[in-house]
A and B are shown apart, each in its own frame.
Chain A
Amino acid sequence: MRKTSAGRSAAAACALLLAVTACGSDDGDRAAKAPEKLGKGEGKVNIIAWAGYAEDGSNDPDADWVHPFEKKTGCRVDTKVAGTSDEMVSLMKTGQYDTVSASGDATLRLIASGDAAPVNTELVPHYKDIFPGLKMRPFNSKDGRMYGIPHGRGANLLMYRTDKVSAAPDSWRAVFEDADAHSGHVTAYDSPIYIADAALYLMKTKPSLGIKDPYALDRGQLDAAVALLKKQHRAIGEYWSDYQKEITAFRSGDSVIGTTWQVIANLAQADKAPVKAVMPKEGATGWSDTWMVSTKAAHPNCAYKWLDWIVSPKVNAQVAEYFGEAPANAKACAETADPRHCAVYHADDESYYRRVHFWTTPIKQCLDGRENTTCTDYAQWTRAWTEIKG
């Protein structure tokens, strides 16, 4: 598995090289540089974050790691919460933000468009404690340079109502071929990136399709995934995008089986919903968030201070517990309020995360190393997703 992964990153690097050289003369202005050393803080930093990543205590007095940061560094934090990866990309394009907590389905786009700059990890002292499994991955690096600081990760698991689903499922088959058993009560994540879940299932069950990487699909492979999802659509009750929606749906029984995040399963169980979340035998897709710095950052020094702050063990632990994810900093596991947190989220379990195929932006150059084939890109996935939902 590790070998494939290395192969994939090499392929991705090649692909990116192709993509960038194809841009021709633009290339020159796009190659941004990482700073050699840091200066004084600018007194301000503008952040784009997922809800729960940059809490200042205004929503929950106990969750506040922004004010301590402001006090320590003198950098005032202005946060814009983004709802989707696409929103993050378009907000970054405005050039008004210094740093962003981008997921893997946004990072490559930001790197390629020249909106995200390489990061000098020397200037982020806590980088050395990041789990090795998150360093130099295809979704956060290019040409052997990191384009951000890993923040946390999670898998897209299979959740089901133990009282409504009689046999405990151990395969994604339950939401694909066997979805009709729960017709009208199956749920799926509402984003084109969910196509990768179908591709992953086909990769394991239909070897004849030749899928090597769920994010590298040629036209025929995409069509096969779309066909599978169209069939699934008939049994879908609703597609979910935010976790409140998902929790209420499982609570009320509108959804009885479908994809989930660990945190949703935990919260639903805390509300006494009879649910269970498992990693099916095919493995799973997942997400990994990276703090990236804008090439147009007006406050780069404060941005670097934020990067180091947010992955420092204590803060990383706080965020990971508040948001419900596996922290990126290995030392964070000693700092969590719940000592079992890292175990529950498999934070230090590299063998667990080797089964997770992290979200990556699909691009025309196949990420699995195929050279004579053109793969489908994210724009095509988006159109396909519209068609699947009909």
Chain B
Amino acid sequence: MRLSRTARIALGGVTAAGLAVVYAPLLLVLLNSVNSDRSFGWPPSGLTTRWWRAALHSEGVRQALLTSVRAGLAATAIALVLGTMAAFAVHRHRFFGRRTVSFLLVLPIALPGIVSGIALNAAFRTVLDPLGVGFGLFTVVVGHATFCVVVVFNNVGARLRRLSPSMTEASADLGARPWQTFRYVTFPAVRSALFAGGLLAFALSFDEIVVTTFTAGPGTTTLPVWIYENLARPHQAPVVNVVAAVLVALSVLPVYVAQRLSSDPAGGRL
């Protein structure tokens, strides 16, 4: 598209300004992690490494991080299996109500977390209680997996839509068995979509707080729950900033890897 120089500069300016606004609060988080003032008074009254040392030695953060990673991995695994199955069903078959499936799958992420949370809470209580199963990591995983399915479904579905069926047909014509076709043709084609979808599913689970609150059992503290509990404690709020700063710095890594590995131009879909 031939744009005038002014238009290009204007667009660049909007993007730069947008990114500046996106990063200003994150920068503030970083600054406050060394702010010696506990309640983030501005401008900082002094600099300190006290909070970083406290965070480094915090057993709670480590435990919460571990719980979050475990919940995220389990939810992502379930979402990968279910989302892929649903995507293949919808994009490789024609059946009545095909469009309703994508509608239903998107519901858990579109409905407010508090509605999903109290619904799951009420259901778990009526179903699991008589079985003697309590709330715990398991219930958190079930809740997270439910809204993670859709991102895998969308990523794989988008790939399948662009993957010409003639490839699998050619494979079959050349005498490949169905599983061979899957192993050598279909799977390599959707692999990067699976990765992108899995990563986003993990990210969603990793940052979820509301559904987690209503589905977690005693002692199940994920990182966002830990953050929520600790932001309310004056002694701890600066330590939360340290954790957030570390997370932001570290998160560049998975996002970048996802971009590189993915052949989808956008590197993934929500």
With an 8 A cutoff between CB atoms, is A210 at the interface?
no
CB distance from B221 to the nearest CB of A (A): 8
With an 8 A cutoff between CB atoms, is A80 at the interface?
yes
Partner of B135, one of A60, A79, A94: A94
Q: Quick one: closest A residue to B118, CB to CB?
A: A90
Give complex CA distance A243, B38 in Å. 12
The interface size of chain B toward A, counting residues with CB under 8 Å, comes to 33
CB distance from B90 to the nearest CB of A (A): 38
Give complex CA distance A58, B235 in Å. 13
Give complex CA distance A244, B234 in Å. 5
Q: Quick one: closest B residue to A46, CB to CB?
A: B218
With an 8 A cutoff between CB atoms, is A47 at the interface?
yes
With an 8 A cutoff between CB atoms, is A51 at the interface?
yes
Q: Quick one: closest A residue to B42, CB to CB?
A: A252
Partner of B218, one of A60, A61, A96, A273: A96
Complex contact B232–A83 (CB within 8 A): yes
User: B57-74: which have CB < 8 Å to A?
Assistant: 57-61, 63
Give complex CA distance A338, B101 in Å. 63
Main secondary structure of the interface of B (DSSP, over half): loop
The interface size of chain A toward B, counting residues with CB under 8 Å, comes to 34
Give complex CA distance A48, B40 in Å. 30
**Chain B residues within CB distance 8 Å of chain A:** 37-42, 45, 54, 57-61, 63, 125, 129, 134-135, 216-219, 228-237, 239
| A-B CB contact pairs (8 Å), 21 listed | A47-B218, A48-B218, A51-B229, A52-B233, A58-B58, A59-B58, A59-B60, A59-B235, A60-B54, A78-B219, A83-B228, A94-B125, A94-B129, A94-B135, A96-B217, A243-B232, A243-B234, A244-B39, A252-B41, A252-B42, A271-B37
Q: Quick one: closest A residue to B57, CB to CB?
A: A61
Given A60-B236, A271-B41, residue A244 in contact with residue B231 (CB < 8 A): yes
With an 8 A cutoff between CB atoms, is A81 at the interface?
yes
With an 8 A cutoff between CB atoms, is A229 at the interface?
no
Complex contact B234–A57 (CB within 8 A): no
Complex contact A59–B218 (CB within 8 A): no
